[in-house]
Amino acid sequence: MELSCAALLFDLDGVLVDSLPVIQRHWRRWAGQHSISFERVIAVGHGRRSVEIIRIVAPPLDAEEERRTHGCR
């Protein structure tokens, strides 16, 4: 049987790789640099892009600039 498709989607996180410790370490460091509660960041962060998280927890900051300077996706 031959299958044809235009794309494949791989969801490896949590299956083959657990990136949660790295993500939490990154956000903990970022939150500390900006005197923002790490718990607040984690509470709103699941399933959101970095710029969205920054806009929620630190509205005065330029979310796009933070994303660029801190290497967030």
Q: Is 11 a catalytic residue?
A: yes
Active site (annotated) includes residue 18: no
Decide: helix, strand or coil at residue 13: strand
Active-site hit among 13, 18, 62, 64: 13
Q: What is the pTM of this model?
A: 0.76
Per the residue annotation, which of 1, 4, 7, 11 is the catalytic one?
11
Query: Could you read off the pLDDT of 41-72 as tens digits, one per residue?
Result: 999 998 899 999 999 999 999 999 998 887 66
pLDDT, position 73 = 61
17 SS3 class = strand
Q: What is the pLDDT of residues 15-50, one digit of tens each?
A: 778 888 998 999 999 999 999 999 999 999 988 999
Where do the domains of the chain lie, and which CATH numbers do they carry? 20-70 (1.10.150)
